Amino acid sequence: MGNIWELDFYSRPILDENQKKVWEVLICESPSDVRAKTDSLFRYAQYCPSTQVNSVWLRTALQEAIDKAGEAPIKVRFFRRQMNNMITKACQDAGIPALPSRRTLFLSQWIKQRMEEVYPQEPGYQGKTNPSVRLERPLPQRLPDALEGKQWAFVTLEASDFADMPEWEIGFGEAFPLELAQLSPETRIPGILIFSPRALPIAGWMSGLEMAYLRYETKPENRLILETGATESWVVANIRTPQLLKEAEGFEQTKQNANGVHFIGVQSDPAAQSFEGFWLLQEVNV
């Protein structure tokens, strides 16, 4: 299996000599191993004049990145929905699938680092951030009947427990280096386990999504929501009993204490020693 890349193509808080916004493409490898060292991951950055912002320029930059990396990725993730057409066209022309995704954790951290350390050093720096345009999100969808778990539970693990994750028996899933979240080994990481005789189909369906994060919402009603792709969301469970309400609030608080890190596991039953699916997730603002 090849690498997955994360890509951003957008204007930066820098003006050129004609007082036009400077654009930039950032491409980085999407880390999938909890033990990976982020300083060894592939990165590519190049500024783009505002007069050349189009899919042709981006396609050329993408090919330069492929040449530099020595191989093409199996897919490209991007989070800016307003850039969908241009990014998708450039990737298609390069023969690479492009997927809207909020699972761009390394890219988000890299952009933050460049906002703080790189752009302020550039001539024409404007001294303020350049946020992405916020677009409407559709209402959460109900899970397909065949994919609803028969049982589920809130659980927690320590960050140190994930050191052995590459050795776990997992059918479908994805992780990321916990060093991205800067957690101490004893930090409690919350999650949910979903149990079902149809665990494999559930995990297979989830693997076809761009898994983003879980969140607990109290309006319009108390429920657990799975965010996927760029805008999609799914109702995983309705929270109705006082005990579950307490556990859901605890999940959300523990997630915040763990810098947004949490997980979803899918198993055939509570006694199973393997996972049909397991995803390490992090809620970040992109």
> Average pLDDT of 176-195?
93
Per-residue pLDDT for 36 more than 70? yes
Evaluate if residue 90 carries a pLDDT over 60. Answer: yes
Interval 37-55 mean pLDDT: 94
**pLDDT of res. 39:** 86
Dihedral class, residue 181 (left if φ above 0, else alpha if ψ from -120 to 50, else beta): alpha
Query: Under DSSP, is residue 181 helix (H, G, I), strand (E, B) or coil?
Result: coil
Question: What pLDDT shows up at residue 149?
Answer: 62
Angle, vertex CA 131, rays to CA 129 and CA 92, nearest 5: 125
Residue range 163-172: mean pLDDT, rounded: 94
DSSP string covering 249-284: HHHHHHHHHTTTEEEEEEESSTT-SSEEEEEEEE--
Cα 68 to Cα 31, 275, 278: the distances in Å are: 18, 36, 32
Rounded to two decimals, what is the model's pTM? 0.90
Q: 3-state DSSP call for residue 203?
A: helix
* pLDDT at 134 > cutoff 70: no
Mean of per-residue pLDDT scores for the chain: 92
What pLDDT score was predicted for residue 146?
Answer: 59
Q: Note the pLDDT tens digit of each residue in 221-242.
A: 999 999 999 899 999 989 999 9
- Label each residue of 112-173 as H, E or C: HHHHHHCHHHCCCECCCCCCCCCCCCCCCEECCHHHCCCEEEEEEEEHHHHHHHHHCCEEEE
Q: Is the pLDDT of residue 196 over 60?
A: yes
Q: For the chain, which domains are there?
A: 4-121 (3.30.420.10), 141-282 (no CATH)
Q: How far apart are the first and last CA of the chain?
A: 27
